[in-house]
Amino acid sequence: ETLQDKLRARARRGVPRLQPLLLPPPADEEYWDRLSDILQAQVLVAIETAARKTMNQHLPPERVLWAAAPHLRTATILRLLLLWSVMLAVPVVLLVELVGDIGDTGIDGGWVALAWAIVSVFIFVPKVSRPSREVFVLTSRRAFVSRRTMWCSIESEQLELADVTAADLAVRKGGVTGTLTLVAERRPAEAGYRYEPDTVVTFSQVLDLRGMCRVLDAMLPPGIAQKAGIGGEGGGAELDNDSVGQ
């Protein structure tokens, strides 16, 4: 069932339509084509959920300006797989061949090795499969991370771009990938106010640094991008008013 089918069903049931608040996905953009179908679906669901929650606030439609999955180099994946193989092989030898039955409990070392193999799946597979489960998104209002867990639930971290008070871009050696940290500082505990922790959103192992920085230079509050070394010549000048969803 497509999103349009769901909207039509809601309209038949008398549920307010979201269609005026939803814009079509940026299908003609290269960054969108690089995402897998399931990551595209995660982004659209996040946009639809936000539109539903803010339906009564009469906000303009939220437009996706940039999106990307974390980039893992082939060497990194091979190192993780090698480490996983070693962490599987060594316990098997120790538990099955050398230990045998553990003490006087009657527990077979082979069963313990099997249990460790199952546990290791939930340690290493999330690291190796990050590019297929996690997506970073910049919209005309928000920066958010949508993450699909091993249990197929969706976790998200988000903040409003207008609330960003600090940004940091750390580029890895070689300048291939980088990690972006956006911080929205909350007011400290004062008389009459409850303390609220800072909101932090992190985009790690980003490959498309140029596209990300171009959007941030246009959308972050004045001075934030320049202090973080994100703004450059021309910066976000390529983003016109229509593209940022005024």
CA 189 to each of CA 108, 160, 172, 196, 215: distance values in angstroms, whole numbers, following the listed order: 56, 21, 36, 8, 33
Task: Give the containing element (helix H, strand E) for 158.
Answer: strand 154-160
Angle at 99 between CA 82 and CA 86, to 5 degrees: 5
User: What's the pLDDT at 219?
Assistant: 92
pLDDT at 65: 94
Query: Starting from the edge strand earliest in sequence, which strands make up the sheet with 166-171, in order?
Result: 166-171, 178-184, 199-206
| 222 CA to centre of own chain | 25
Strand partners, 142: 160
CB-based contact 110:120 (threshold 8 Å): no
**pLDDT at position 134:** 95
**Predicted confidence pLDDT, tens digits, the chain (246 residues):** 565 676 566 556 654 554 456 778 888 899 999 999 999 999 999 998 888 887 766 778 889 999 999 998 888 889 988 988 888 888 777 776 666 555 555 667 677 778 888 888 888 888 888 899 999 999 999 999 999 988 888 899 999 999 999 999 998 877 788 999 999 987 665 545 566 678 899 999 999 999 999 999 999 998 898 888 886 543 443 444 444 443
What pLDDT score was predicted for residue 202? 94
pLDDT value at residue 234 = 39
Q: Could you tell me the two tokens for 140?
A: 């005309």
Q: What is the value of pTM for the model shown?
A: 0.75
Q: At residue 128, what are phi and psi to the nearest 5 degrees?
A: -75, -35
Residue 231, pLDDT score: 67
Q: Look at residue 204 in the predicted model and tell me its pLDDT.
A: 92
Backbone phi, psi, residue 153, to 5°: -90, 160
With beta carbons less than 8 A apart as the criterion, state whether 201 and 158 touch. Answer: yes
State the Cα–Cα distance between residues 36 and 25, nearest whole angstrom.
14
Which pLDDT score, from 0 to 100, does residue 176 have? 82
